[in-house]
Amino acid sequence: AAKQPPAAPARPLQVIKIDLETNSVVVGEDEIRELEATLRGSGVDKVAVVGVMGAFRTGKSFLLDLMLRYMREKALKVAGPQGVQPAGFGEQGAEGAECEVPEWVLRNGVPDWAVRCGSSLVEGREGPDGIAEGDDGLRGFQWRPGMDKCTEGVWVWSEAFICKAGDEDVAVLLLDTQGAWDARMTKEQSATVFGLTTLMASRLIYNVSKQIQQDKIDNLLYFTEFAQAALRAQQGRSVVAPASDQRVRPFQTLEFLVRDWPHYPDKSSVDSARAMMISHLDQYMDPKVSEDTKSIDSLSDMFDNIDVWCLPHPSLTIERDAWNGSLEVIEPQFWRFVDRYLDKIFGPEALQAKTTLGTPLTVNTFTAVLKQFIVAFKDAAPQAQTFSEAMETSTSLLARDSALQKLRKRLEEEAKSSSKALEPEQFERVAKDAIEEAEADFRSKALYGSEEGISKANEALKVDVKQEVRRFREENERRLEASLSNLTDVSLAAVAAFGVDKVSDLTCDWWSGFCRDISTDLSFGYTAVALFVIYS
Ligand SMILES: Nc1nc2c(ncn2[C@@H]2O[C@H](COP(=O)(O)OP(=O)(O)OP(=O)(O)O)[C@@H](O)[C@H]2O)c(=O)[nH]1
Ligand SMILES: [Mg+2]
């Protein structure tokens, strides 16, 4: 038999690179191919992706290295370049060789998973002699002490960790990203890096320092909206078809992960602290507490689930450039909270197979979908627009979108409210009402831009409205005819069901023509706005 080349060690793979010379985004073709081989060899069908994004220099990569340590111990199996192995493979202690537990491990309540790979977290640490390796040559996501930013582009760990999501096995991938809101990033870089992370993650961890804050929510919204627009634009040539006609939210779980949360009382238990975390998020989500829930409402429309966790500060010592990685300095409280956090997010209840528009991503489709998304972002590459142009395009497009949805919802509700069709005069009355409502909605939202721009958008809205009303009218007439021709109750119900089905086809879902048409324009608008946010 031909000799196999030695397998590469497990390491982070850079799937999105930034070419600094041309300032463009480059796809890591070889890296994606390697990932694909790992997934196909994993023996499971579905994939879950945990991605971390957030401002630069906030300990994202460091946290991912802790996640790696956790997974090496706690996953059922690990799939990598060497095939599939049981977790904890090859570690001292696992084979019965007793190792001495340092006193501080017991004193500080350090979880087993955190110290099994060595009592210093050195893997991935960047120093003067390059990137350090841990015990047994273990590697990690690259992190760096100090002020200078470290991670560039998007990285995926080359191993997949097999865990339970509900009662099925999934291959968990970990994804690290470049720090956000860095003034050196160009428009294409930021749109691609954060949009892509949002699209690929089944759990998007938004790492924030100290507290959530409104501006952080607003910033996140720009990128998720951009990702949503790219998703719509990409629908036309997708390999994944929507699972059903039901409206599906584009993304799964968004989690705010607050680092250095200063408000836990000494020795507070995680259970008692959970209420505090939730009330922190509620300050922004609950209309009874928050004055402005607009942005978070938009996020709620895009994500199935919004979650929160707050970690205390690990220790001031680790912020120093000279910290040697020793885990001895980390406070007991940090261990308590990080241990429970990882149990939660990697436990079978929270872990979810990644779906795109309701269809699960499989080990066979994962990399094809990843590449498609990268292409979608390239196609939607932002055009040079001034800030006011961008605001004008995006606000009036959004106003038009919102008004049309209002009209559809109203007519749909009327159609569903009774099993009988409306009399023609009655339909016209309802339609007139709905049109007035939609117009008013548009006027209340299209506030930004020139008279000319707004009235152009208004004209376009009128055309859309006419077309929609015509469709509903025809549908109503069909139902009316059916009811007039003396059908039995059963067949009448069938016709009504067809009608409702037809109506639901017309709602503005991800794959509908209207959404596709405007999404490209929208994405130009969003991106230009996003750009200004970053630069200003
Ligand atoms: N204050 C604080 N510092 C941390 C925490 N976790 C890690 N650090 C330190 O933060 C510094 C930056 O860590 P990285 O993991 O490289 O940060 P990053 O967010 O990945 O940085 P970029 O990739 O440059 O965006 C290191 O010195 C870590 O030791 C934390 O929870 N709080
Ligand atoms: Mg980093």
Domain boundaries, the chain: 12-87+100-379, 387-535
Confidence at residue 407, expressed as pLDDT on a 0 to 100 scale = 92
**198 pLDDT above the threshold of 90:** no
Listed ranges 10-14, 151-155, 254-258; the one with the highest mean pLDDT: 254-258
Measured in angstroms, how far is the CA atom of residue 64 from the centroid of ligand 2?
A: 9
Q: How far apart are CA 18 and CA 16, in angstroms?
A: 7
Confidence at residue 497, expressed as pLDDT on a 0 to 100 scale = 39
Mean pLDDT of 122-145: 74
Token pair listed for 325: 């990685």
- Residue 425, judged by CB atoms within 10 A of its CB (0-12, 13-18, 19+), counts as exposed
Mean pLDDT of 250-263: 93
- Min mean pLDDT across 124-128, 348-352, 438-442 is at 124-128
Scan for tokens 């192995």, then name that residue: 85
Q: How far apart are CA 282 and CA 293, in angstroms?
A: 10
Helix (H, G, I), strand (E, B) or coil at 256: strand
Nearest ligand 1 atom to alpha carbon 146:
27
Comparing 236 with 25, the larger pLDDT belongs to: 25
Confidence at residue 351, expressed as pLDDT on a 0 to 100 scale = 95
Measured in angstroms, how far is the CA atom of residue 468 from the centroid of ligand 2?
A: 48
What are the pLDDT digits (tens) for 267-290? Answer: 888 998 999 999 999 988 888 877
Confidence at residue 400, expressed as pLDDT on a 0 to 100 scale = 80
**96 pLDDT above the threshold of 50:** no
Confidence at residue 98, expressed as pLDDT on a 0 to 100 scale = 55
**157 pLDDT above the threshold of 50:** yes
Selection from 71, 39, 33, 12 nearest residue 361 by Cα: 39
Q: Is 39 within 8 Å of 171 (Cβ atoms)?
A: yes
What are the pLDDT digits (tens) for 203-244? Answer: 999 999 999 988 888 878 877 777 776 666 555 444 444 444
- Min mean pLDDT across 226-235, 240-249, 300-309 is at 240-249
Token pair listed for 313: 């500060």
Comparing 232 with 412, the larger pLDDT belongs to: 412
Confidence at residue 184, expressed as pLDDT on a 0 to 100 scale = 66
Which amino acid belongs to residue 415?
A: A
Helix (H, G, I), strand (E, B) or coil at 289: coil
- Residue 188: pLDDT band with limits 50, 70, 90: low
Measured in angstroms, how far is the CA atom of residue 111 from the centroid of ligand 2?
A: 24
Percent of the chain with pLDDT over 90: 32
Nearest ligand 1 atom to alpha carbon 145:
27
Nearest ligand 1 atom to alpha carbon 334:
31
- Residue 434: pLDDT band with limits 50, 70, 90: very high
Comparing 143 with 30, the larger pLDDT belongs to: 30
What are the pLDDT digits (tens) for 436-445? Answer: 999 998 887 7
Scan for tokens 């930021």, then name that residue: 190
Mean pLDDT of 102-110: 88
**1 pLDDT above the threshold of 60:** no
CATH class of the domain at 12-87+100-379 = alpha beta
Question: Ligand 1 — pocket residues by CB below 6 A?
Answer: 56-62, 143-145, 149-151, 179, 259-260, 311, 313-314, 318-319
Q: How far apart are CA 438 and CA 228, in angstroms?
A: 23
Comparing 291 with 204, the larger pLDDT belongs to: 204
The mean predicted confidence, pLDDT, of the chain is 77
Q: Is 290 within 8 Å of 284 (Cβ atoms)?
A: yes
Scan for tokens 């930034």, then name that residue: 18
Mean pLDDT of 414-430: 89
Measured in angstroms, how far is the CA atom of residue 25 from the centroid of ligand 1?
A: 25
**144 pLDDT above the threshold of 50:** yes
**521 pLDDT above the threshold of 70:** no
Percent of the chain with pLDDT over 70: 73
